Amino acid sequence: MSLAVPAAQAVELPPPLQRRWSRGRLLGHALLGIWGLLGLALVVYLVGAWKAELFARYAPAYLSGLVVTLELVGISVALGALLSLPVAFARMSPRRLLSWPAYGYVYFFRGTPLLAQAFLVYYGLGQFRPQLEAVGLWGFFREAWWCAILAFTLNTAAYQAEIVRGAVESVPRGQWEGAASLGLRRWLTFRKIIAPQALIVALRPYGNEIILMIKGSAIVAIITVYDLMGETRRAFSRTFDFQTYIWAAIIYLVLVEVLRIATDRIERSITRHLRR
């Protein structure tokens, strides 16, 4: 008697896929292991270096620094958004008298370091103290805080103007022409037809710009504004404890990641109608 299974039933399964330890897989796991070890070392270091009095002394300072950073970025991004609109429209204008100065403005602020701009405003304008006092503006330019706001606003306005321009120009001409043939005015066309479509394109760059501003804002610590970075520097210079910088790094990373995830979420929800 034969135990052989009829040939038709003998289904030949493909051999189970062997997950071989290829070189890439080895390398990937090794690198992940290194990251894991580094993370573990960081936790061990922070636990070992934990000092209750240090925390009690500097946690409020860090918190106030974080608030200063957020205020600085919030105010200058909002003011910059207002300022960027006329700049962007001037830049798109066919009239050279408008477009060239706008181009120069954008080129200057995008082509020079934010640090140099902050110095130019804070130290540079301080040189004109008698003149500023005569105009009554010295109270403004004396404060590093307001100088930082001014420099950051001018800087982000230049970047945002380019975002606006790119977004508006990404909307096809036919949209303008269609609206014109329906008898809509230009401003109404912009507000109701162009802007909603441009905003979808602009959202991600805007999110990136806010992240860049948060990171860039760390330089105000150099012109004596006590933002998160400033408080960190102060804490380090008093304690010479390296964990002060580690904590700042963690706070900045969390802040930036939260913003990035928020941008992703918003983008997903406003492009719902484009997904199939």
Partner 1 sequence: MLELLSFGPAGWGDEIARGTLVTVALALATLPLGLVAGFAVALGKQSEEASLRAAANVYTTIFRGLPELLTLFLVYFGAQIAVQRVAALVGIESGVEINSFAAGMVALGAVFSSYASEVFLSAFRAIPHGQYEGGHALGLSRWQTMRLVVLPQLVRIALPGLSNLWLILLKDTALVSVIGLSDIIRQTGIAARVTRQAFLFFGVACLVYLALAILSSFAFAAIERWAGRREGAR
Residues in CB range of 193: below 8 A, 6 or more apart: 175, 176, 179, 184
218 is a contact residue toward partner 1 (CB under 8 A):
yes
68 is a contact residue toward partner 1 (CB under 8 A):
no
134 is a contact residue toward partner 1 (CB under 8 A):
no
45 is a contact residue toward partner 1 (CB under 8 A):
no
Q: Which amino acid is at 193?
A: I
CB of 253 to partner 1, least distance (A): 4
C-alpha to C-alpha distance for 214 and 55, rounded to whole angstroms: 24
What six digits make up the tokens of 17?
């896929």
Q: Which stretch binds partner 1 (CB under 8 A): 49-57, 111-119, 170-178, 182-190?
A: 111-119
Q: Where do we find the tokens 């904590």?
A: 247
What's 123's DSSP letter?
A: I
Concatenating the DSSP letter of every residue in 88-116 gives HHHHH-S-HHHHHHHHHHHHHHHHS-HHH
Residue closer to partner 1 by CB (options 90, 229) is 229
Q: Which of residues 13-32 bind partner 1 (CB under 8 A)?
A: 22, 24-25, 27-29, 31-32
C-alpha to C-alpha distance for 199 and 203, rounded to whole angstroms: 6
C-alpha to C-alpha distance for 168 and 193, rounded to whole angstroms: 11
Q: Which stretch binds partner 1 (CB under 8 A): 8-16, 91-99, 117-125, 161-169?
A: 117-125
CB of 188 to partner 1, least distance (A): 36
Q: Where do contacts with partner 1 occur on this chain (CB under 8 A)?
A: 22, 24-25, 27-29, 31-32, 34-35, 107-108, 111-117, 119-120, 123-128, 214-219, 221-222, 229, 232-233, 236, 242, 245-246, 248-249, 252-253, 256-257
